[in-house]
Structure 1
Amino acid sequence: MKQLFPDLWETREEHPFHGVTTHAYLLTQDRGNALFYSTGIGEELLEIQRLGGVSRQYLSHRDEAGQPLATIKKMFGNQLCCDALEVNAISQYSKIDVVFEGPSVEPDKVEVIQTPGHTAGSTCFVFCSPHGPRYLFTGDLIYPEDDGWGTLVQSHAGGQKKTLCESLMKLREVSPDVVISSASVRRSAVQAVTSDQWRAVIDQAVARS
C-alpha cells in the first residue's frame, strides 16, 4: 500500500489488459474506512486490515466486479455499494448491500454522482477530506491516458456517447483538487488539478467524444 495523503492509500498496480493499470483506493476515517474500486492482491488486503479494514466498498461500474468482491466481504464484513443499473452484472460475484437510485450523500460523507455513459450505471464519487483535498473518483468515465485524458463508451454495457458527454459536463462543475480514476494508460491514475485545468480537461474530452 502506498500512502498518497493522510487519509488515502493506493494498492499495488494490477494489469487486467495490456497497457492498462488499475488500483484500488482506501479512504481512512473514524466513521469507517471506504474502499473505492477493487483489488485481488492478498498482501494488500492484509495491509487494509492493518489500517482498520473496510466498512463500505464503492464500485463505479461493473468492470470492477469479480471474485475479489466476495473475498473482501468475507474478510471485512463490509457493505458493497453500486448503482441500480449495475446490480445484475455485479451481484453474480457478491451480495450487494447498498443500491444507488439517484444522487446522494452517504453516511460516511461520500457523495454519489450518477454519471452514465461509459456503462449504463457508471457512478462517480466525491469526498471532501478534512485534510484539505476534494477527491473525485471517476471510475473509467474519464481517465489519464499518455499525455492527455481518455474516455470509452461500452455500448454492450449500456454506454452511450450522448449520456457520456452529459455526465462529463456534470463533472465539470465539481472542481476537484485530486482526480482518481479506476484505470489509467501509461500514466498515474491520480492527478492533481486546478479548477481551470479540470474544466479544460472536460471541455477537451467532450470535444473529442
Structure 2
Amino acid sequence: MQQIRPDLWITAPYFPEPEGFPDLKFHGYFLTRPEGNLLIHTSEHAADHDIIAQLGGVSRQYLAHGHEAEPGIARIRQRFGSTLLAHRAASADVAVHAELDHPLDGGEVFDDGVTVIATPGHTASNVAFKVRSKTGETYLFVGDTIFPRRGEWHGAVFPDEGGDTATLQDSLARLADHHADLILFGVTISDEPARQFTASSWRAALDEASRSLQPI
C-alpha cells in the first residue's frame, strides 16, 4: 500500500482483466478513523491485508458498485469482521462472495463521516462516497463513474447491468456540485488514481467524460 495522506492509503492495484485490458487497474483506499477504519472499494492482495491489520483492521468496507465484488471481500470480512456496504442493486454481485450487511440507496450520512451519493448510469448500482478527513480535507471517492485514461476523462455504460447513457450524464453533472480537496478513482487506465482539482477543472473533467460515453 502507498500512503498519500496522514490518514489515507492506496492499496496495491488489482488487474481484473489482464488479457483483454492489461492496463486496466482497480484501486482501493484505506482510511484510519477513530470511530473505526474504513476500506473504500476493494483490496485483493494479502500483503495489503497484513498492513491493514497492523493499522488496526477494517470496521466497514464500502463498495462503489457491483464490479468491485471480488473474492477479496470475503477474505477481508473473515479476517477483520468488517461490515460490508454497497448499493442494494449490487446485492447479487456481492452474494457470489459474501453477505451484504447494509444495502445503500444513496443519500445516507453515516456517523463514521461517510456521505453516500447516488451516481447510477455506469451500472444501476453505482454510488460515490464523500468523506471529511480528520486532517480537515474532504475526499471524494467516485468509483467508476468517471475515470482517467491516458490523460483523458472517460465514462462507460453497461446496459446489461442497468447502465444508461442519459442517467450517467445526469450523475456526472450532479458530481460537479461535489468538489473535494482530493478526488479518488476506483479504476484507471494507464493513469493516476488520485487527483486534486479546482472547481472549474473538475467540472471540465466531468464534461469531457460525459462526451465520451458509449455503451459497452
Is TM-score (shorter-chain normalized) higher than 0.5? yes
Please list every run of at least 4 consecutive aligned residues from structure 1 whose deviation after the TM superposition is greater than 3 angstroms: none
**Residue in 2 that maps onto 1:132:** 136
Gaps spanning 5+ residues in structure 1: where?
none
* Structure 1 stretch displaced more, 137-146 or 127-136: 127-136
Q: Is the 8 A contact 2:122 2:145 kept in 1?
A: yes
Using the TM superposition, give the Cα deviation of residue 205 of structure 1 relative to its aligned residue in structure 2, in angstroms: 2.1
More strand by share: 1
The answer on 1:77 being equivalent to 2:53 is no
Q: Is the 8 A contact 2:154 2:210 kept in 1?
A: no
The answer on 1:161 being equivalent to 2:165 is yes
Picking from 39, 51, 63, the partner of 2:43 is 39
The answer on 1:16 being equivalent to 2:6 is no
Q: Is the 8 A contact 2:123 2:164 kept in 1?
A: yes
Gaps spanning 5+ residues in structure 2: where?
none
Picking from 122, 127, 148, the partner of 2:126 is 122
Q: Is the 8 A contact 2:40 2:61 kept in 1?
A: yes
What is the count of residue pairs matched by the alignment? 209
Deviations 1:119-163 (A, max 9, x none): 001010001212132111011110111111111101111100011
Whole-angstrom CA distance in 1 between matches of 2:152 and 2:146: 10
Picking from 179, 185, 193, the partner of 1:189 is 193
Whole-angstrom CA distance in 1 between matches of 2:83 and 2:13: 24
Determine what percentage of the aligned residue pairs are the same residue: 34
TM-score by length of 1: 0.96
Q: Is the 8 A contact 1:56 1:81 kept in 2?
A: yes
Q: Is the 8 A contact 1:126 1:135 kept in 2?
A: yes
Picking from 166, 177, 189, the partner of 2:181 is 177
The answer on 1:200 being equivalent to 2:166 is no
Using the TM superposition, give the Cα deviation of residue 207 of structure 1 relative to its aligned residue in structure 2, in angstroms: 3.1
